[in-house]
Amino acid sequence: MKFLPYEDVPLYIAEDGSDGEYIFAESASISVSQPNKPVRQLQDNTLSICEFGVGSSMSYTSPTFVASTDYNVTLGPSGGPPSPLATSIYKIPEGTKVTFPNGKHLYFSDDVFPNGHNYLTKLYPKSGGWQLSQSEAQSGYFDPIFDYVSTGPVQGNLDLSFYINTGNLQSFFNVTGISNSLQYPPINEAKLTGFLGDFAFPCMHLQSLGFSLSPNGISQATARFGIYGEIKKIDGLSDGYYSSSLYSQQSIPHGQNSQVIGTDNLGIEHVTSFSYSISVESTPRYSMPTGSSNTSEGIFPDRVSRKTTKVVMDMNGENINPEIVSNGGVPKRANLKVKLKDLSYDNFEDNSNGFMHTFNCSGVINSYGLSIGSQEYLNGSISVSQLFR
């Protein structure tokens, strides 16, 4: 068994039909499941013997059993007609015990996969010198492996903690349909594809994303994506990882130069930290197969529609305006803008982009708070939310 180290399991995400990016992920996990239930029929684990033989006479006569000897058996009620094993059974393993009244037992000689035509089978005893009466032969009981049927689609999640940088900043945040400039269509519902190591996921959509910044700190983000359909392993998929753009120099937002604009009306003169989050409520739509040769029909959604997209920005800073949450009973609004910047090294050209990206939150003030303690300053906190669609 081979255990792959962290550095040999890259994460790659792309918008469908476009080039993607390797993600500088600190951790990533995928979980996928499909609801299912066993297929059961009435008395599908009971066994009735119509005849010891291949159904030529339909008359019952029990042999005197010889240990470990196979006997042809026709299944069904006394006198016929023959009845096959239930197709709700996936498999009857070789050696499965059939229990009859009075402590008598026979065993299946071979593996059986019922297909609706299993009128005949072979059974054997482990001991000899006894017989099975006709009434006993109608009351056998065994424990097979039952078949299961899916009751819903294959769906899961990709959860990751990563560093936003020049390589993934645009692709990660703009897939929500929120942009700093006009775009068409206004809501981007394009699916994402990618892989984790050699495990490929062909259909994925963003569900939530968030990051935070504080003085003298770099920005680390978390994200959750909804995965739809099966995941496949493709050997060698990540072989080009070490020659990828991830190993070129990337720029990462830093709290030293990044700015929060629009706090004056809130009474906060100095922002000490903030967090920014996006959550997307989406609904997958599946269609039934229409007889085409497309084997993916019904496995992957035709569309994952975005119902609502919510942006929440929380800030902590010096002081606060105590009247910001009441204006004739109507919540006040706030227009906030975050300008992410890196450290802008003067002697490091590859890592001196300066300004990197802008994120807006124009909405209502949900809550605010004030706190003070001994040997501390008066601190204020504000939460603003904006709802799209």
pLDDT digits (tens, 9 = 90+) for 107-139: 999 999 999 999 999 999 999 999 999 999 999
Please tell me whether residues 103 and 21 are part of one structural domain. Answer: no
What residue type is 279 in one-letter code? S
What's the burial of 242, exposed, middle or buried (CB within 10 Å: 0-12/13-18/19+)? exposed
Q: What percent of the chain has pLDDT over 70?
A: 85
Looking at residue 51, what is its pLDDT?
Answer: 94
Residues 364 and 290 in one domain: yes
pLDDT reported for residue 245: 64
Q: For residue 15, what are the β-bridge partners?
A: 192
What range does the domain containing 79 cover?
46-148
Number of domains in the chain: 2
**CB atoms inside a 10 Å sphere around CB 138:** 19
**Per the confidence metrics, is the pTM higher than 0.75?**
yes
pLDDT of 341:
83
Question: Is the model's pLDDT at 1 over the cut of 60?
Answer: no
User: CA 231 to CA 31: how far, in whole Å?
Assistant: 10
- Cα 48 to chain centroid distance, Å, stands at 44
| Residues near 342 by beta carbon (within 8 Å), at least 6 away in sequence | 251, 252, 253, 254, 257, 351, 352, 353, 354, 356
d(CA 203, CA 225): 10
Residue 175: pLDDT over 80: no
Average pLDDT, the chain: 83
Question: Does some domain include residue 67?
Answer: yes
Confidence check: pLDDT of 2 > 60? yes
Instruction: Report residue 296's pLDDT band, with 50, 70 and 90 as the boundaries.
Output: low
Q: Say which residue, 190 or 186, is predicted with more confidence.
A: 190
Residue 345 scores a pLDDT above 70: no
Name which residue leads in pLDDT, 370 or 225: 225
Specify if 41 maps to a domain: no
CB 161 within 8 A of CB 27: yes
Q: Are 352 and 341 in contact (CB under 8 A)?
A: no
Last residue of a domain, one of 148, 177, 208: 148
> Do 16 and 137 fall within a single domain?
no
Residues 25 and 64 in one domain: no
Using the 3D structure, point to which of 97, 114, 148 is the last residue of a domain.
Answer: 148
**Per-residue confidence (pLDDT) for residue 333, from 0 to 100:** 85
Inside any domain, residue 161 = yes
- Beta-carbon contacts of residue 235 (< 8 Å; ≥ 6 apart): 198
